[in-house]
Amino acid sequence: MVKMFIESLKNLTTKPVTIGYPHTPSPSPKDYRGTIYYQEDLCIFCDLCEDVCPPGAILFEVTNFEENIREYSYNPYLCIYCHACVDVCPKADEGCLVQAETRLKPLGREETLPKDIKLGYFMDRVTTPKHLDSQWDEFEDRCEESREGHDEFKAEKKRKKKEEMAAKKKLEAEVKAKEDAALENDVSKSENNPEEKVDETAKDKPKE
């Protein structure tokens, strides 16, 4: 009691330890675990980061099925800044996925929406901060669908390709056969084989 009394009086006469933030800056220390930045050109789309991210703050949405273009989306408000994605990224050393020391501004009025292209893939699509959460939900569903769609698309494409190939082969074979027939007159040898192969591959692929 008495000691604290003296300490109180002493504190009264000395300068407070309060830092002046936000009027004076208070920078994060080196290697502070801040926002994740992404460089699309370096990415090899291995999906490892999406896989490891505990809250699912990184998502890839397939935007173009034909060309297999995936778009990286990152939700900095869901991210727990755990650094796991950077650890796992094979291209992290080159700067594909970097954890910055700076942190994001809080999301409040619309003007303060972060518009940084590099990180705000998701945020850019949001017009009002309200319902950001539910939008992310929708977005998650969409990503899921797109992934499924992409898988289907891929399988479909493969099957088609295979079919085409098979047809082509068949055609070729026919031509060849004709030629051969013309040459050797042996028709019944290789008619059903290519088709069976296509079926098998079509069954296997989407399962992966």
Partner 1 sequence: MGNKITVTFGSQHIAIPEPVSFVFETENEMITKVDVDVGYVHRGIEQAAVTKFKFNNVQFLLARVCGFCSITHAGAYIHGVEKLLGVETNKRIDYLRLIVTELDRMHSHLLANGHVAEVCGYENLFMQSVKYRENATEILEAITGNRVQYDYYQIGGVSRDLSAEHIEMIDVKLKELRVNVLKLRDFFDTDYTFGLKTKGVGTVTYEMAKAYNTAGSIARASGLRMDARNEFDFLPYEEVGYKLQTRTEGDVWARCMVRFDEVINSIDMCLYAVNNLPEGEIKVKSKGKPKGETFIRVEAPRGECFYYIKGNGTKIMERVRIRVPTYANIPVLRELFVGSQYSDAQAIVLSFDPCLSCTAR
Partner 2 sequence: MNDLRAKSPWITHYNTGGCNGCDIEILAALGPKFDIERFGMLNRGNPKQSDILLVTGPVTLRCRDVLRRVWLEMPEPKVVVAMGSCTHGGGVFRHLYHTENGIDGIVPVDVWIPGCTPRIEAIIDGLIEGVEIWKNKTKEKEYMVGHSEKLLEKIGVLND
Partner 3 sequence: MMGLLLTLFSPIIGGFIYGVERVVKARMQSRQGPPVLQPFYDFVKLMQKRPMMVHSFHASMGIMYFISTWFAMAVLMMGNDLLIAIFFHVISVLALTIGAFSVRSSYSIMGAMRELMHVVSYEPVVILLAVSLYLVTGSFDIAKILTSDITPIFSLPLVFISFLGVMPMLLHKSPFDIAEAHQEIVGGPDIEYSGPFYEAVYTARWIEYVYVYFIVFLFGGSNYFLGTFLVVFSFIFINAVDNSTARLDYKKMLKFAWFILIPLSMLNIFFVVVGAN
Please report, as ranges, the residues that interact with partner 3 according to CB under 8 A: 1-5, 7-9, 11-12, 14, 16-18
The distance of closest approach from Cβ of residue 78 to partner 2 in the complex, given in angstroms and rounded to an integer, is: 5
Q: Is 17 in the site for partner 2 (CB under 8 A)?
A: yes
Residue 16 binding partner 2, by CB under 8 A: yes
Question: Which position has the token pair 């699912």?
Answer: 56
> Does 47 sit near partner 1 (CB under 8 A)?
no
Compute, in degrees rounded to 10, the torsion defined by CA atoms 20, 21, 22, 28. Answer: 140
Total residues binding partner 1 (CB under 8 A): 22
The string of DSSP letters for 1-67 reads -HHHHHHHHHHHHSPP----TTTS--PPPTT----EEE-GGG-----HHHHH-SS--EEEEEEETTT
Q: One-letter amino acid identity for 207?
A: K
Residues with Cβ within 8 Å of 163's Cβ and at least 6 positions away in sequence, in order, are 198
Write down the least CB distance from residue 54 to ligand SF4, Å: 6
- Cβ at position 33, least distance to ligand SF4 in Å: 7
Judged by CB under 8 A, the stretch of 31-39, 59-67, 157-165, 174-182 that binds partner 1 is: 31-39
Site for ligand SF4 in 53-112 (CB under 6 A): 53-55, 57-58, 79-85, 88-91, 96-97
- Span near partner 2 by CB under 8 A; candidates 16-24, 160-168, 176-184, 188-196: 16-24
Helices 132-183, 193-204: inter-axial angle, 10-degree rounding: 170
Element housing 98 (H / E): strand 97-99
Between 54 and 90, CB nearer to partner 2: 54
169 neighbors 191 (Cβ within 8 angstroms)? no
Q: Which residues bind ligand SF4 (CB under 6 A)?
A: 36, 43-49, 52-55, 57-58, 79-85, 88-91, 96-97
